[in-house]
Amino acid sequence: MLTPRTDATMPTQMEAYFRALRAREFRRLDAQGHAYLDYTGAALYPESLVRTHANALVDGIYGNPHADGPSSRASTAAVEEARAAVLRFFDADPTEHTVCFTANASAALRLVGEAYPFARGSRFVLAADNHNSVNGIREFALRAGASVRYVPLDADLRMPDAEAVLRGADRRVPNLFAYPAQSNFSGVRHSLGMIDQARELGYDVLLDAAAFAPTSPLRLRDVRPDFVALSFYKMFGYPTGVGALIARRESLRRLRRPWFAGGTVEFVSTQHGMHGMKDGAEAFEDGTVNFLGIGALPAGLAMLVDVGMARIGHHLAGLTRLLLDRLMEMRHPNGAPLVRIHGPRDSIDRGATVALNVLDADGAPVDYERVEAKAREANVSVRGGCFCNPGAAEHAFAFPADDTSRCLESLSREGFSVERFRRCLAGPAVGAIRASLGLANVEADVHHFLRVVETFGESDTHDTTKRRRVVATPPWALTRPL
């Protein structure tokens, strides 16, 4: 006779829903015993999305959209349908907003950075917690004579007082504020309230939604950034090579493109050195867009709508809570914590991304490469390193300011590597492990990863070659990124 399952072993309705979704769309994970926990790197594509798109390609005849034959018109129709679907998904009014298709979020961020009319006296203010594709905009700002200021982070890697840095901008010149709606390092969700705050203080706002959009609704009728950058493979895994800049039309008109390209111009005269740019999004789409890939976007977005962003958020909040709670409970046999979590340890205003270091029994960080290697052996995909977010890393690892600049200066002459930098600093963690969850994940994935972490606490070995223990007193004044 079957024993009835107790409540404790019974999946919740939510877990049951996502197990069924996984069985339909992501069978390959269980078939290969794979725990995929790198959703902030890239989402996994559902089977049906690839099939639907493959069928459309097999049946359709799609040519370069810049011509006017039937095959071109088919491509143009697919691209315009996708543009409308993106605006609908982000609840954006098409009379106020437009979508420029790009290769990825980085290309969308660059479009703004290189064309933003920075001038002497302008400010470029950005969160210390930013992906390098936002940090890189400072080079455009500096070249134009603007000043660059970072908003510091607190011990939880949040930005408690952006206003202090934003205040005092000269409204006679253009000023730009850029920050991520969600950190790709710590999972912190930075307040969307800062958008209005910055606009009132005289800034245009560039919101990096690459890590936020996959699991949280962004409604552009409610929040009004000037520019939003994202990559679609991070939302539903397929296709790669398509991102977007969603821009307010009036803000886009204020950008000054540094060049023109095929597809962006009404006319060019080589005899007279003249050119006329197209209006709106087309002026920002260099050459031929990925018209085949873009055709897959409506089905990808529809899949997210079908599952429901609220349901995704709820499910992932539960899994993140489970992951954080179990990690914080883990101890060495001597009672010392096995894990240090970077960023909030609670589930308030955070997404499903958790950065951590495994610690040895004396509290020193285990090199992230060792943890990454054990995860790899166990068929667990996580990310190791600084995740292209040097500002959050500097705060999280509490790099001593003087040692850091000395090491970076000497290594920029001798050749930089993580190992050399780690040896030079001789103390703090240099790199962490990031576990990030998404649509395909279920509780079993969290347990799979936890078993990998647990193995580091199985024997109370004291490593005599270990580096000195780091006391986390973050150097808030540190501005030079790794």
Ligand X SMILES: Cc1ncc(COP(=O)(O)O)c(C=O)c1O
| Interaction of residue 210 with ligand X, rule CB under 6 A | yes
Number of shown-chain residues binding ligand X (CB under 6 A): 13
- Residue 84 CB contacts under 8 Å (≥ 6 apart), including other chains: 94
CB of 306 to ligand X, least distance (A): 24
| Interaction of residue 231 with ligand X, rule CB under 6 A | yes
Cα 420 from Cα 411, distance rounded (Å): 8
Give catalytic status of residue 386 as yes or no.
no
Active-site option among 100, 386, 388, 407: 388
| Interaction of residue 40 with ligand X, rule CB under 6 A | yes
| Interaction of residue 135 with ligand X, rule CB under 6 A | no
Pick the closer one to ligand X by CB: 169 or 296: 296
| Interaction of residue 104 with ligand X, rule CB under 6 A | yes
Is the distance from CB of 199 to CB of 261 less than 8 angstroms? no
Pick the closer one to ligand X by CB: 189 or 332: 189
| Interaction of residue 354 with ligand X, rule CB under 6 A | no
CB of 205 to ligand X, least distance (A): 15
Instruction: Out of 75, 133, 186, 264, point to the residue binding ligand X (CB under 6 A).
Output: 133
Pick the closer one to ligand X by CB: 183 or 251: 183
Cα 136 from Cα 227, distance rounded (Å): 16
**Which range binds ligand X by CB under 6 A, 160-168, 208-216, 338-346, 390-398?**
208-216
CB of 104 to ligand X, least distance (A): 3
Plot region of 349 (φ>0 → left; ψ -120 to 50 → alpha; else → beta): left
| Interaction of residue 129 with ligand X, rule CB under 6 A | no
Instruction: Find, among 144, 148, 118, 157, the residue nearest to 345 by Cα.
Output: 157
294 is written with which tokens? 């873009």
CB of 183 to ligand X, least distance (A): 7
| Interaction of residue 342 with ligand X, rule CB under 6 A | no
Determine phi and psi for 6, rounding to 5 degrees.
-80, 165
**Which range binds ligand X by CB under 6 A, 98-106, 268-276, 376-384, 433-441?**
98-106
| Interaction of residue 437 with ligand X, rule CB under 6 A | no
CB of 67 to ligand X, least distance (A): 29
Pick the closer one to ligand X by CB: 53 or 434: 434
**Which range binds ligand X by CB under 6 A, 144-152, 207-215, 271-279, 322-330?**
207-215
Pick the closer one to ligand X by CB: 205 or 338: 205
Pick the closer one to ligand X by CB: 286 or 360: 286
Instruction: Find, among 446, 444, 443, 421, the residue nearest to 368 by Cα.
Output: 421
| Interaction of residue 208 with ligand X, rule CB under 6 A | yes
Cα 228 from Cα 237, distance rounded (Å): 19
Cα 146 from Cα 123, distance rounded (Å): 5
CB of 108 to ligand X, least distance (A): 8
- Residue 299 CB contacts under 8 Å (≥ 6 apart), including other chains: 48, 49, 52, 53
Q: Hey, how many other C-beta atoms are within 10 angstroms of the C-beta on 411?
A: 15
Instruction: Find, among 331, 325, 236, 254, the residue nearest to 43 by Cα.
Output: 236
Instruction: Find, among 206, 223, 198, the residue nearest to 109 by Cα.
Output: 206
Instruction: Out of 106, 264, 320, 357, point to the residue binding ligand X (CB under 6 A).
Output: 106
Residues 173-192: x where in contact with ligand X by CB under 6 A, - otherwise, as a string: -------x---x--------
| Interaction of residue 131 with ligand X, rule CB under 6 A | yes
Distances (CA, A) of 438 to 183, 184, 320: 15, 13, 10
Cα 387 from Cα 341, distance rounded (Å): 15
CB of 238 to ligand X, least distance (A): 13
Question: How are beta strands 274-277 and 265-269 bridged, if at all?
Answer: antiparallel
Is the distance from CB of 306 to CB of 121 less than 8 angstroms? no
Cα 186 from Cα 153, distance rounded (Å): 12
Instruction: Out of 43, 78, 82, 105, point to the residue binding ligand X (CB under 6 A).
Output: 105
CB of 180 to ligand X, least distance (A): 5
Active site residues: 388
Binding site for ligand X (CB under 6 A): 40, 104-106, 131, 133, 180, 184, 208, 210-211, 231, 243
